[in-house]
Amino acid sequence: MKNIFRTRALLFLLSLFGASNLALADDPTYSADIAPILFDKCASCHNPDGIGPMSLLDYEQVRPWAGLISLKVQAREMPPWHLDKTTGIQAYKNDVSLSDEQIATIVAWVEAGVPQGDPADLPPQPELPNPGQWQTAEILGPPDFVVKSPPYTVKANAQDQWWVRRTSFEGLIDEPRYVRATELKGAYPLGVKVLHHGHATLVSVDADGSRRSGPVGRQGVGKGGDLFPEGTGMLINPTGTITWNLHYFPIDQEVENDQAEVGVWLYPKGYVPDFETRGEQFFAADSGPGGLWANDVIIPPHSIKSQQGVRVLQRAALITSFRPHMHMRGRAQSLEAVYPDGRREMLARVDKYNHNWQIAYEFEDDAAPLLPKGTMLLITSTWDNTANNPINPDPRQWVVFGQRGVDEMSHTWIGITYLNDDQYERLAAERRGGERLTAGQ
């Protein structure tokens, strides 16, 4: 019961921020209460082959880190989920954050002296993802084809590198096909440790001569593959060029001839989906002063700076995911919708941005913003170039646009499917009929 009243007070304070029906066992133990949380929320990264800095698979591994774990979960730094929980849409397919009750349980356990409890209460060891295999294969089976980037050697302890190359795409499909899912990953075992984020974009030409561009892979630390909603696909042609944009962060050993890999899953031949998407798309603001791209990013030393930009939707759209992108000074980014009638709505806001993670926040189907033509997307970015930013390499420096982590960027990757008028009206009517109103409805 040591410090249990203080923990009860924490529960009360957490409940003031929207939690309800919280309950807490008087004497939480590792075996009965903590292991289930860690196995479910932490073990996929914190295992011998994972990207976490320590393994958390048994009591002896967890005990030395218990105090740090308590601090990290109270600050909501771990598990990594950087969304502001007080505003915007809160329904996501890939939400790994802890509940207020889970946080309070961990805090109570640490304050009670990290009791192990009865080993018979332990849940089974979790099934861990194999970092050398395709994660999307767990849902769809093996990919229909795989392509690899040209080899690149990542020097030990060097500066981070943004590497761009082009390769031809041909001979893998014999006719235009619709893509169901894509996944990009570094080669196992060391490539997955140095590939921070990257993009593989296929550019081809349609039969009418128009240029077609779409991602066959988007990767980031903390981001999985891209699985399009059922009935939605991305059309690709049999020949074209893949542009590889890969951002490498070195480790303490050389990684020789790393080759990133892209796996692509196709719909069956002849299948035409109801909705055609171009996948996760790059959104910088429209050009001009006050935008969010190259020449506009100038951050003075010892300063906090915010900047806004807009993009007007020329067609109705369904947004399926939101992935902010800044670098080491990035602090926050939000995505708002300003509707044609003047209404304004916050869709999502990341208030604890951390460049070490590149998370795509995937909206639940019923909550995905359905936006009419003419909606303005308002993007607001904030940078923290002060000593209070724990990953700021040097707050004395002026910071400008650049591709290194110590320079800055600001844009957003949005999973978006554009809709014609009939498609928009049909989706809007389905939501109204099911009483599942979402953004803009």
Angle at 157 between CA 156 and CA 158, to 5 degrees: 90
Q: Give the tens place of pLDDT for each residue, 172-188.
A: 999 999 999 999 999 98
**Letter for the amino acid at 64?**
P
Q: Give the tens place of pLDDT for each residue, 290-310.
A: 445 545 789 999 999 998 888
Closest-CA residue to 229 (of 178, 275, 263, 176): 275
* Averaged pLDDT, 65-80: 96
Q: Give the tens place of pLDDT for each residue, 333-347.
A: 999 999 999 999 999
Residue 320 has pLDDT above 70, yes or no: yes
* Averaged pLDDT, 368-374: 97
Q: Give the tens place of pLDDT for each residue, 90-145.
A: 999 999 999 999 999 999 999 999 999 999 999 999 998 888 899 999 999 999 99
Residue 15 has pLDDT above 90, yes or no: no
Residue 248 contacts residue 195 (beta carbons within 8 Å): yes
pLDDT score recorded for residue 295:
56
Q: Give the tens place of pLDDT for each residue, 130-164.
A: 888 999 999 999 999 999 999 999 999 998 888 99
* Averaged pLDDT, 49-68: 94
* Averaged pLDDT, 242-250: 94
Q: How many CB atoms lie within 10 A of CB 155?
A: 13
pTM of the predicted structure, to 2 decimals: 0.88
Residue 12 has pLDDT above 80, yes or no: no
Mean pLDDT of all residues in the chain? 89
| Residue 409 DSSP class | -
pLDDT score recorded for residue 309:
87
Angle at 116 between CA 111 and CA 120, to 5 degrees: 145
pLDDT score recorded for residue 9:
46
* Averaged pLDDT, 75-94: 95
* Averaged pLDDT, 381-404: 94
Residue 369 has pLDDT above 90, yes or no: yes
Residue 351 has pLDDT above 50, yes or no: yes
Q: In the structure encoding, which two tokens stand for residue 47, read together?
A: 């295992």
- Give the whole-angstrom CA distance, residue 379 versus residue 356: 21
Distance of CA 308 to the CA centre of its chain: 21
pLDDT score recorded for residue 209:
85
Residue 262 has pLDDT above 70, yes or no: yes
Q: Give the tens place of pLDDT for each residue, 217-230.
A: 999 999 989 999 99
- Give the whole-angstrom CA distance, residue 141 versus residue 124: 25
Q: Could you tell me the domains of the chain? A: 4-121 (no CATH), 137-276 (2.60.120.230), 280-433 (2.60.120.230)
* Averaged pLDDT, 317-343: 96
Residue 215 contacts residue 226 (beta carbons within 8 Å): yes
Element (H, E) at 40: helix 35-41
| Residue 58 DSSP class | S
pLDDT score recorded for residue 4:
42
Angle at 138 between CA 133 and CA 141, to 5 degrees: 90
Residue 400 has pLDDT above 50, yes or no: yes
Buried/exposed code over 243-262 (b: 16+ C-beta within 10 A; e: otherwise): ebebbbbbeeeebeebebbb
pLDDT score recorded for residue 282:
83
Confidence band (pLDDT; 50, 70, 90) for 434?
A: low
| Residue 223 DSSP class | B
Lowest mean pLDDT among 22-31, 277-286, 394-403, 410-419: 22-31
